[in-house]
Structure 1
């Protein structure tokens, strides 16, 4: 008879949910529906799983059996973005061979949650983007001797990184818009600074969020004079706020908008329709991510499809390699351009 201890992967399979959802239920850091929570806990009880087993791990290696995943924004907001969910599924899959649980942490630079990256009993940390705020905490983690992996950010020499071809991919979407004949183009970006301030990005401004900076550079490789408007987060509501600004003045309306996420693009489309504009006849819109966005129909968004699940899995594999005394390696992933129905030549009327 097998005496193998049940893992979080077994619980997720039994409950019929993703690995990341099962981990969220046990971490308690992000709300889940009562029905989902009940199903996961019932599966755990049936399998005899009570959470990560720090005693067994400590006897073997002095470990807790927990991998910390650190965000620099409110966790509830982060999980509204389907990209985060897909990435967490991949990450949970990547660390599943360790039998490890994921502990979701928030480090906002001012009010650090408890447990935090500084104090949590974790074996390794995965930083989702290495923002200016989290760079300040990185020294503390390294001083603790905790292995660190960064997803889409640069934490300095010696830190494994999982990267997307953000600049090259965004350049491809911009080139598509240029080939259609557009010249008056505006950009709607992800947050440009740690404070997540909305507003126009000055031409000489330093964009300190790596993903935003790379995608902005890619668009400006093709449209160097394009105006750029920063959103506070990746959401439909933020895209609509940016779109209302762009379409407020009929004399300065762009004929195309390049948005740095699909959610932002969906919001821009909503704002265009509010302004009486038809997409793509009056304005073309592109996104970035390749996720399903509710309410976008009948449009099929022109976008870059990123391998979000593979991105998370690569981070999990790097963590597992370090904890198994292997050699982790960063992995560069490539996005795929997908032409949809939201881009067309500019109207001549």
Structure 2
């Protein structure tokens, strides 16, 4: 199984059974699993997203259109000029209200280059957000409106300094945040809203189609390592390969607004970095038996129990001590037991 997306405590999983692609929804709180009907489009998708508002959910699969379609792209598509031309986006959408898949063809051109990145899509402000070849694709689930804009680190000219080693999306204070690591450090940008553009345009003259982001926070690799050198020394003692620090070792994957904490993945270790106090702490370590495995996918979920809800206190993510065993666990353990 492959984890495609998460939204408000739901995990969207995909698996292949023979030549058929299957989608499953797994509820992290109730530990219930639902198998979705077979999609109509059988070719490989570019990306898959999940939107869950607490009552109903939608699963959105993105495909490259079959053949070129000659249409006049309206200005409402908000596609940057660099992303126009070439193949168009095609979508297939499953709704829990109707129980069926439907096709949607927005007038959005695919970026020319689509690198394979492990950025989990984000459902925020009524839209699913994907990182797509250096762009941010937004699909508003209620209106079926699509929008494509450049990410703040989109390279106009390629260079070694433009390489991105890890990235993630999250929502905080009603805004979409985009965080990534490069050779210098960890950078977080905020996607501007319409009211922000109205405010800035009254004081400055700028191209709002080009400048959609505002820099919120930056921390260099050197500064981060100085906050807790023991973490990186211990990482090097476990594996000689990690003695010399490299920027691609670190990857942001989640942010918890109530704790102002950014969670980072290191080789074999998860750490938390408080943006207010600059404290760097180890959350947990992990390993895969009999292999040099140091990469995993993590999904941060904040929830409240009934007792916590009565007292008005949310349960911290770090206090959740129960691990959920997904079906893939049995498949991974079988080769080890056979030895």
Q: What range describes the TM-score normalised by the shorter chain of this pair?
A: under 0.3
> 1 or 2, which has the higher helix percentage?
1
TM-score (norm 2): 0.27
TM-score (norm 1): 0.26
Q: Which has the higher contact order (CA 8 A, sep 6+)?
A: 1
